[in-house]
């Protein structure tokens, strides 16, 4: 008996069309023959970019790809910063845009690449929780969001949504009310709102399903991993999520898996892309980051114990923050 399709949703600003194409190319390459039902919710995407993305699934009978423009005008007052556009808020409307008989969907950001089969993620047991997500390291703004100190905080780039539970709790209305009441404190935008509103209703997924850039600087224990498991995660996460404003399509970026982005970029209609930030400043910035990045990526067996020893020295003997 054929497995039921994996239902995926993306929310994308038109300016991120290239990066959506990379994410889709990686998903398709590593899930050959998998039944995929994909909805892309868009803001300001041109017909040319839509056609380019559609070309990735031409001839694939196992993949259904749909696009749905969204009118964000009612929510233009929602906070945005830097590289974060209003497209980040599209996540909170997903359950209301899908048929009522759909009870589960997998949301993915567009600044990530998929390196493994995702059916194990799709079939993850999240019990009766509203959603499943991966821990977001280094969060300390609990007070801003009315969360208890030390409460778990999750990254919203990969979400396994329990649509029935979300709808029963009127999730979108609660999130909108929280966003409007806490506008000044939402430095992580809808991600902050999701964590505060669904506190205690989020199931933790394994870090392999959302390897965030901040995890390069984690201690294994903070992710619930042994040192050996942490090293294995660093070598090949199932999903690489290029968080932080520095992205692999920037010349100055030194992410250890930067090349993976370009590997899949070559499979898309955007393969002739060249970084637009190439300048003397970006060259100097890359040179500044090069020694630490080279140490980290070339000699991880030495780098991570050295970093741990340095942090211990700072916190224990110098009284500084880690």
Tell me which DSSP letter residue 205 carries. E
Convert the pLDDT of each residue in 86-145 to its tens digit. Answer: 988 899 999 999 998 999 999 999 999 999 999 999 999 999 999 999 999 988 899 999
Higher pLDDT, 260 or 318: 260
Instruction: Report residue 281's pLDDT band, with 50, 70 and 90 as the boundaries.
Output: confident
pLDDT in tens, 283-294: 677 677 667 666
Report pLDDT for 222: 86
Query: Residue 317 CB: number of other CB atoms within 10 A?
Result: 8
* Contact yes or no for 220/98 (Cβ under 8 A): no
3-state secondary structure (DSSP) of residue 112: strand
Q: What whole-number percentage of the chain has pLDDT above 90?
A: 69
The residue that leads in pLDDT, 31 or 251, is 31
The pTM for the full model equals: 0.89
pLDDT at residue 268 greater than cutoff 80: yes
pLDDT beyond 90 at 148? yes
* Location of structure tokens 């905080």: 153
Q: What is the mean pLDDT of residues 258-279?
A: 93
> Could you tell me the two tokens for 269?
């209609």
- Model pLDDT, residue 77: 84
Q: What is the pLDDT of residues 35-84, one digit of tens each?
A: 999 999 999 999 999 999 999 999 999 999 999 999 988 988 887 887 78
First to last CA, the chain: 53
Q: Taking CA 82 as the corner, what is the angle to CA 79 and CA 88, rounded to the nearest 5 degrees?
A: 50
pLDDT recorded at residue 312 = 60
Residue 31, pLDDT score: 98
Hey, what's the torsion of the CAs at 168, 173, 177, 183, to 10 degrees? 110
The mean-pLDDT minimum among 96-100, 171-175, 223-227, 281-285 falls in: 281-285
Per-residue model confidence (pLDDT) at position 311: 61
* CA distances, 17 to each of 43, 44, 57, 83, 203 (Å): 10, 10, 15, 14, 30
- Residue 310: the pLDDT is 64
The whole-number average pLDDT for the span 173-181 is 93
Q: Which pLDDT value is given to residue 71?
A: 92
Which residues lie closer than 8 Å to 21 by C-beta, 6 or more apart?
52, 53, 56, 265, 268, 269, 270
Q: Is the pLDDT of residue 178 over 60?
A: yes
Closest by CA position to 19, among listed 227, 230, 249: 249
- Mean pLDDT for the chain? 90
Give the number of other CB atoms < 10 A from CB of residue 70. 17
pLDDT of 301: 63
Which of 215, 219, 220 shows the shortest CA–CA distance to 237?
Answer: 215
How far is residue 273 CA from its own chain's centroid?
22
Question: Residue 171 — very low, low, confident or very high, per pLDDT cuts 50/70/90?
Answer: very high
Instruction: List pLDDT tens digits, range 295-314.
Output: 666 656 666 667 666 666 76
pLDDT in tens, 179-197: 999 988 888 899 999 999 9
pLDDT at 87: 86
């Amino acid at each position: 008996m054929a497995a039921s399709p994996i239902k995926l949703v993306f929310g994308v600003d038109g300016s991120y069309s290239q990066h959506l194409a990379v994410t889709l190319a990686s998903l398709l390459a590593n899930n050959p023959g998998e039944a995929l039902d994909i909805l892309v919710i868009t803001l300001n995407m041109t017909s040319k970019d839509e056609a380019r993305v559609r070309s990735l699934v031409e001839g694939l009978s196992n993949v259904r790809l749909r696009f749905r423009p969204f009118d964000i005008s009612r929510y233009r007052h929602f906070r945005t910063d830097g590289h974060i556009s209003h497209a980040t808020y599209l996540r909170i409307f997903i359950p209301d845009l899908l048929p009522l008989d759909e009870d589960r969907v997998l949301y993915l950001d567009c600044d990530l690449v998929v390196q493994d089969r995702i059916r194990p993620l799709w079939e993850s047991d999240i019990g009766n929780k509203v959603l499943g997500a991966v821990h977001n390291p280094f969060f300390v703004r609990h007070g801003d969001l009315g969360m208890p100190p030390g409460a778990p905080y999750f990254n919203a780039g990969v979400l396994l949504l329990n649509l029935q539970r979300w709808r029963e709790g009127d999730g979108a209305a609660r999130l909108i009310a929280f966003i409007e009441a806490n506008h000044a404190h939402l430095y992580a935008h809808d991600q902050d709102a999701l964590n505060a509103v669904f506190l205690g209703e989020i199931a933790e997924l394994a870090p392999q399903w959302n390897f965030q850039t901040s995890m390069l600087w984690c201690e294994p224990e903070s992710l619930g991993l042994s040192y050996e498991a942490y090293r294995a995660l660093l070598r090949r996460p199932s999903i690489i999520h290029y968080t932080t404003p520095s992205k692999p399509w920037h010349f100055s970026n030194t992410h250890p898996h930067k090349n993976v982005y370009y590997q899949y970029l070559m499979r898309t209609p955007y393969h002739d892309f060249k970084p637009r930030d190439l300048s003397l400043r970006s060259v100097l910035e890359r040179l500044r980051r090069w020694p630490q990045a080279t140490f980290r990526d070339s000699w991880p067996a030495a780098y991570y114990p050295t970093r741990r020893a340095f942090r211990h020295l700072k916190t224990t003997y110098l009284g500084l923050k880690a």
